[in-house]
Structure 1
Amino acid sequence: MNNTHRPPNAAYVLMIFAAFVIVVAGMSAAKAIIVPFLLAAFISIGGSPILFWLKKRKVPTWLALLIVMCGILVFLFMIPGLIGSSVNDFSSKLPFYEMRLRGQTNAVLDWLDRIGVDVDRLELNKIFNSAAVMKLVVNLLNELGGVLTNGFLILITVIFMLLEASSIPVKLRAIFQDPEASLGHVKNFADTVVRYIGIKTVISFVTGAFVTIFLTLLGVDYPLLWGLLAFILNYIPNIGSIMAAVPAVLLTIIQLGLGRALVVAIGYVVINVAMGNAIEPRLMGRRLGLSTLVVFLSLIFWGWILGPVGMLLSVPLTMTVKIALDTSEDTRWIAVLLGSEKTSVPKPAAAQTPIKDKPLTPKPKRKP
């Protein structure tokens, strides 16, 4: 039997591309509705194992749901509150930070004068504009807080999704002609996403805790906020850890000087290399089945379509698309393209070496 993936014809590829463009345009137009729904869906997927575990321990459904929702409530409403209070405190310290930045700039100018480098002070002050630097940090914090502005809508959606979670297998059996195969695909998707979200959450939490402790020991302002930022942005593959380090290093330059900022930058590198390149691959393995290039491109694509939430959920969304494409023979070739470089393609039946049949009866023994 030939199991190779047949390449599609040109007309079929063009039709898929046209459908893809239409879907992307629709998602971009409906971003305000899709983003809260997607965030609620993946929060529900992450919380459903806890709900089912509590129900297996004979905890009533209403109590198990209440316990899960209390944890989600703390997460959804603690983050905007912490960010809001930090931004207000940060704004009150703007004069101090502006004075520190002006002093750092003058120190650099004096050092350049001593070594004989002629620099236009007016142009350098424009580059190190204190107001622009402060605006960058405040805008970053406000953007992070704006991700969860629809907290009430997300919470209500999560409640209904968790209530319906136990009835999904029954509904799938009633809809599909081959319910066992369909349930297998759904279970495969759910297990993969739950595993990814679970491991990523643990890694992100440990990363944020290390960042908070490290910055507290160095005396950097708002260590809890920068640890929370490291926790959230660690969900963004490849560039999330860099994005989390920039505002903390920038604030350290203003507050404590260039030398301490270099120590902070090295600390971020050590923490993220240890967690992202040593521990996370051991726990995650190659179960995602996505190539590194696809992970990076999915980060750009989903971030362009859905904004910051799309970047946070880029890997789970791409995994969902890949698993859905893999369920059909017509679209399996796209799933192969999205897969890792280790994907193996079976040899054609004609190229396989036939195995000769061996006799089943043992050879008779020689008589002495």
Structure 2
Amino acid sequence: MPPLESDKVGLHILLKLSALVIILAGIHAAADIIVPLLMALFFAIVLNPLVTWFIRRGVSRPLAISIVVFAMLIMLTLLIGVLAASMNEFLAMLPKYNKMLMQKVLEFERSIPLVHLRLSPERMLQRLDSEKVMAFATTLMTGLSGAMASILLLVMTVVFMLFEVRHVPYKLRFALSNPQVHIAGLHRALKGVTHYLALKTLISLWTGAIIWAGLVLMGVQFALMWGVLGFLLNYIPNIGSVLSAIPPMIQAFLFNGTYEMIMVGALFLAVHMVLGNIVEPRMMGRGLGMSTFVVFLSLLFWGWLLGPVGMLLSVPLTSVCKILMETTKGGAKLAILLGPGRPKSRLPG
């Protein structure tokens, strides 16, 4: 390759990378606008099969959308109301956590005389500053109450999306340069993401309900709050189930004891093993065609780009990008890198 031509290739790659950095910086800066739209799109994708189910049974589209959205609104309002009450009670008990944790650690030090931790109660109280924890929890409460104010806007956006979905194929036929290829890719992406989100939501509901019921039977406080946390974090692949188990285990250790903490951990482990490793793979089938490493990287990337919502939707967002890449010449090779590997039929032996 002549030097001049190689310089052009290098400059072309550099320009593409520069454009990508500018686009990502713009998305990161506009996260406050993009995140609500993504949440509305998430609800629209999950609710659209229900709307379709009503339409197939003779219900008109406006009435079907009204029924589904009204049910969603009631569930969200009840859930946020009950969760806000639980978090208020949790905030009131936060100052007790510091003293209990300090007592537990000091008891642990006295029970093992060979281990000289040399713990200072004064230093522990400084590090476990309850005011900082309460400030963080109060911020979460403020965001939760602010979510109530945003529900109406979210619901209206979902309604418009559900009305607009039937016109999307018609519009794309005239908007795209190569409609057959691109519409097929978009249809495959939408079908895969809808399948994933619907089943993931169902499995997450089972996860949250089982955790809530199990913690209630164990007598663990704030069982509903931890069940909701398990439901939400179950959307985060790989590490979500681990993160959801840590707070209730700490609480059980402080307020109940070591045995109760082990039982809570066993409950989360059993739910993850049964639903996450047995039920979910069988229901998902082939999944979205991404490697485990790519799923983990997408979790970090979308979490940095869009915050917690990006982590929750990291898998479907990456899947859509992968499928859309497959419809272009330049992105087809990159889409292969995001895939799980060679088909089983091509593997040697």
The residue aligned with 1:122 is: 121
Q: Deviations over 1:35-84 (max 9, x none)?
A: 00111112111111111221121102221011110232134333432332
SS of the equivalent of 1:297 reads: helix
Q: Could you tell me whether the CA contact under 8 Å between 1:336 and 1:343 is conserved in 2? A: no
Residue 131 of structure 1 and its aligned partner are, at CA, apart by 2.0
Q: 1:271, 1:136 → 2: CA distance? A: 32
Residue 88 of structure 1 and its aligned partner are, at CA, apart by 1.1
Q: Deviations over 1:80-127 (max 9, x none)?
A: 323321121122334554553344244224324x55736233366348
Instruction: Name the % identity.
Output: 36
Structure 1's 340 and 95: CA in aligned 2 closer, same or farther, altered over 3 A? closer
Q: 1:127, 1:100 → 2: CA distance? A: 14
The residue aligned with 2:39 is: 39
The residue aligned with 1:294 is: 294
Q: 1:59, 1:165 → 2: CA distance? A: 17
The residue aligned with 1:252 is: 252
What are the within-5 Å matches in structure 2 for residues 54-203 of structure 1? 54-94=54-94, 96-112=96-112, 114-115=113-114, 117=116, 119-122=118-121, 125-126=124-125, 129=128, 131=130, 135=134, 138=137, 142=141, 145=144, 148=147, 150-203=150-203
SS of the equivalent of 2:329 reads: coil
The residue aligned with 1:283 is: 283
SS of the equivalent of 2:286 reads: coil
Residue 281 of structure 1 and its aligned partner are, at CA, apart by 1.4
Q: Does 1:314 align with 2:305?
A: no
Q: Could you tell me whether the CA contact under 8 Å between 2:94 and 2:134 is conserved in 1? A: no
Residue 140 of structure 1 and its aligned partner are, at CA, apart by 8.7
Residue 30 of structure 1 and its aligned partner are, at CA, apart by 0.6
Residue 239 of structure 1 and its aligned partner are, at CA, apart by 1.0
The residue aligned with 2:50 is: 50
Q: Could you tell me whether the CA contact under 8 Å between 1:105 and 1:125 is conserved in 2? A: no
Q: Does 1:264 align with 2:264?
A: yes
The residue aligned with 2:5 is: none
Q: 1:142, 1:315 → 2: CA distance? A: 28
**Residue-pair matches, total:** 338
Residue type of the partner of 1:121? S
Residue type of the partner of 1:232? L
**RMSD value over aligned CA atoms?**
2.8
Q: Deviations over 1:278-328 (max 9, x none)?
A: 221122132311111111011001100110000001011101111111111
Structure 1's 42 and 341: CA in aligned 2 closer, same or farther, altered over 3 A? same
Residue type of the partner of 1:318? T
SS of the equivalent of 1:342 reads: coil
Q: Could you tell me whether the CA contact under 8 Å between 1:290 and 1:339 is conserved in 2? A: yes
Q: Deviations over 1:190-236 (max 9, x none)?
A: 11001100111111111111111111111100111111110011000
Q: 2:264, 2:15 → 1: CA distance? A: 51
Residue type of the partner of 2:80? P
Please identify, of 101-110 and 81-90, the stretch whose mean Cα deviation from structure 2 is larger. 101-110
The residue aligned with 1:365 is: none
Structure 1's 285 and 11: CA in aligned 2 closer, same or farther, altered over 3 A? farther
Higher helix share: 2
Residue type of the partner of 2:21? V
Q: 2:104, 2:70 → 1: CA distance? A: 46
The residue aligned with 1:219 is: 219
Q: 1:265, 1:300 → 2: CA distance? A: 25
Q: 1:146, 1:336 → 2: CA distance? A: 43
Structure 1's 279 and 136: CA in aligned 2 closer, same or farther, altered over 3 A? farther
Residue type of the partner of 1:120? L
Q: 1:194, 1:285 → 2: CA distance? A: 14
Residue 181 of structure 1 and its aligned partner are, at CA, apart by 3.3
Residue 133 of structure 1 and its aligned partner are, at CA, apart by 8.9
Residue 268 of structure 1 and its aligned partner are, at CA, apart by 1.2
Structure 1's 167 and 108: CA in aligned 2 closer, same or farther, altered over 3 A? same
Q: Could you tell me whether the CA contact under 8 Å between 2:91 and 2:134 is conserved in 1? A: no
Q: 2:93, 2:190 → 1: CA distance? A: 46
TM-score (norm 1): 0.83
Q: 2:128, 2:330 → 1: CA distance? A: 56
Q: Structure 2: give runs of 5+ residues left out of the alignment.
A: 1-8
Q: Does 1:231 align with 2:231?
A: yes
Q: Could you tell me whether the CA contact under 8 Å between 2:186 and 2:324 is conserved in 1? A: no
Q: Which has the higher contact order (CA 8 A, sep 6+)?
A: 1
Q: Could you tell me whether the CA contact under 8 Å between 1:237 and 1:295 is conserved in 2? A: yes
SS of the equivalent of 2:228 reads: helix
The residue aligned with 1:366 is: none
Structure 1's 342 and 109: CA in aligned 2 closer, same or farther, altered over 3 A? same
The residue aligned with 1:5 is: none
Structure 1's 23 and 344: CA in aligned 2 closer, same or farther, altered over 3 A? farther
